[in-house]
C-alpha cells in the first residue's frame, strides 16, 4: 500500500510549509513594550513533562520571564491532548491562557468520536513555532541495529511499541509502519513522549515512535538507538540516520508542527501581539540555534498563516485516519 504523504494526495508536507517566506509579515514589539497585557500567563501542555511539546513550552516560558512576565507551564496529559484543549477553550480570553499544540490537535477530530470543543472555533492558532520529525527508537541493548532488523523480527513475532499517546502523530506514524511492513505490532499508548521514553530506556518496550526533539538527548548519550527518521529527507542533526522511505517504505514521510493557540474568543489585537512577542523570541539567533540543536526546524507563522496550517491538517488527518480506520474511543 502506498502511504505517501505528498502534496497531490494529502496536501503540503509539514516541513515545507510557508513559514520562511513570511516571517516578518508583522512588526515586532518594541523593546519598551515586550508583553501583550497580562503580567501572568499559563501555557498548557496536553502531554506529560519530558517530551518535545513540554520542552518547547518551557523554553518559551523562560523567555517570557525575561520580558517581565510570570509564565507557568501546566501539564494536563491524556486523550491525545484533547483534555488540555477543552480546558484552554474555556479559559479567559484576555491573553493569559495559551496552549502549546502540535498536530495531535488536528488528528483528534478524526480519531475521537466526541469532542467537548470545536477544534476550528474554540481555540485560535496564534503563532507557529517549530517543526520536528519523529524517530523509530530501540533501547541501547536491543539486538536490532536497523529498521530492516526490526521488521524481520516483527514478522516472526509481533513486538510491543510505544507512542506519545493514542491519537497522536507518533501513534499514527507507528500504525502506518505496521501497514507499510505488513506487521502486527501491538501499540502501547503513553500520556506523552516523556513516559514512553522512560520505558524505552528501561527496555520495557521493543521499540518506540516519538518526536526527535524529545529523544535527541538520549541518542547523543547512546542510551537509545534510532533506526529511522520519518521525514522525507535525512535530518542535518542526524545525517547518518536513514529515513523510513530509505528503509523500505517508499514515499513514507511525516513530521510534526508545534505552536501556540488561545481561546477562540480572544480579540484579534491580543492574538497579534502574542504573535509579535513570541516571533521575536523564536527569531533570536540564540533561540534558533537551540531549536536546531534540539532537532527542531524553527518557524514563526503569524495567526492567519498558522491557522491555515492547522485547519488544513484537520482535513488531512481526517483523510489519513479514515484510510487506516483509526479510532481511539
**Kindly report the CA angle at 6 between 120 and 242, in degrees rounded to 5?**
115
pLDDT recorded at residue 31: 39
Alpha-carbon span 322 to 25, nearest angstrom: 36
Reading the block at residue 282, the C-alpha cell is: 523564536
pLDDT recorded at residue 35: 64
Q: Answer for the pair 263, 124: CB distance below 8 angstroms, yes or no.
A: yes
Residue 269 CB: number of other CB atoms within 10 A?
11
Reading the block at residue 196, the C-alpha cell is: 514512553
Closest CA to 207 of 251, 256, 141: 141
pLDDT recorded at residue 329: 64
pLDDT recorded at residue 24: 37
State pLDDT tens for residues 261-294. Answer: 999 999 999 999 999 999 999 999 999 999 988 8
For residues 19-39, one letter each, b for 16 or more C-beta atoms within 10 angstroms of the residue's C-beta and e for the rest, the string is beeebeeeeebeeeebbbeee
pLDDT recorded at residue 232: 87
Q: What domains are defined for the chain?
A: 7-132+255-324 (3.40.190.150), 133-247 (3.40.190.10)
Sites in the chain below the pLDDT cut of 50? 1-32
Torsion angle, CA of 170/175/181/186, rounded to 10 degrees? 100
For residues 179-200, one letter each, b for 16 or more C-beta atoms within 10 angstroms of the residue's C-beta and e for the rest, the string is ebbebebeebbbbbbbbbbbbb
Amino acid at each position: 500500500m502506498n502511504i505517501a504523504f505528498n502534496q497531490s494526495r494529502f496536501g503540503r508536507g509539514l516541513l515545507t510549509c510557508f513559514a520562511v517566506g513570511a516571517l516578518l509579515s508583522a512588526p515586532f514589539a518594541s523593546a519598551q513594550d515586550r508583553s501583550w497585557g497580562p503580567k501572568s500567563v499559563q501555557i498548557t501542555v496536553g502531554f506529560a513533562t519530558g517530551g518535545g511539546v513540554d520542552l518547547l513550552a518551557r523554553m518559551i516560558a523562560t523567555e517570557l520571564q525575561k520580558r517581565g512576565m510570570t509564565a507557568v507551564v501546566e501539564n494536563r496529559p491524556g486523550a491525545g491532548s484533547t483534555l488540555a484543549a477543552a480546558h484552554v477553550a474555556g479559559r479567559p480570553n484576555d491573553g493569559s491562557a495559551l496552549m502549546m499544540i502540535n498536530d495531535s490537535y488536528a488528528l483528534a477530530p478524526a480519531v475521537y468520536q466526541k469532542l467537548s470543543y470545536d477544534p476550528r472555533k474554540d481555540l485560535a492558532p496564534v503563532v507557529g513555532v517549530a517543526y520536528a520529525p519523529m524517530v523509530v527508537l530501540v533501547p541501547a541493548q536491543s539486538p536490532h541495529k536497523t529498521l530492516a532488523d526490526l521488521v524481520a523480527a516483527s514478522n516472526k513475532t509481533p513486538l510491543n511499541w510505544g507512542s506519545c499517546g493514542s491519537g497522536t502523530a507518533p501513534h499514527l506514524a507507528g500504525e502506518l509502519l505496521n501497514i507499510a511492513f505488513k506487521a502486527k505490532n501491538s501499540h502501547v499508548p503513553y500520556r506523552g513522549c516523556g513516559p514512553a521514553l522512560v520505558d524505552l530506556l528501561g527496555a520495557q518496550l521493543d521499540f518506540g515512535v516519538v518526536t526527535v526533539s524529545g529523544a535527541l538527548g538520549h541518542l547523543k548519550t547512546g542510551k537509545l538507538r534510532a533506526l529511522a527518521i520519518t521525514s522525507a529527507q535525512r535530518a542535518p542533526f542526524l545525517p547518518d540516520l536513514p529515513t523510513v522511505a530509505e528503509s523500505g517504505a517508499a514515499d513514507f514521510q511525516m513530521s510534526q508542527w508545534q505552536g501556540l493557540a488561545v481561546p477562540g474568543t480572544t480579540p484579534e489585537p491580543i492574538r497579534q501581539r502574542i504573535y509579535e512577542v513570541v516571533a521575536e523570541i523564536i527569531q533570536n539567533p540564540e533561540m534558533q540555534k537551540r531549536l536546531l540543536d534540539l532537532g527542531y526546524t524553527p518557524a514563526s507563522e503569524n495567526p492567519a498563516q498558522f491557522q491555515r496550517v492547522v485547519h488544513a491538517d484537520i482535513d488531512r488527518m481526517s483523510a489519513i485516519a479514515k484510510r487506516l480506520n483509526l479510532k481511539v474511543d
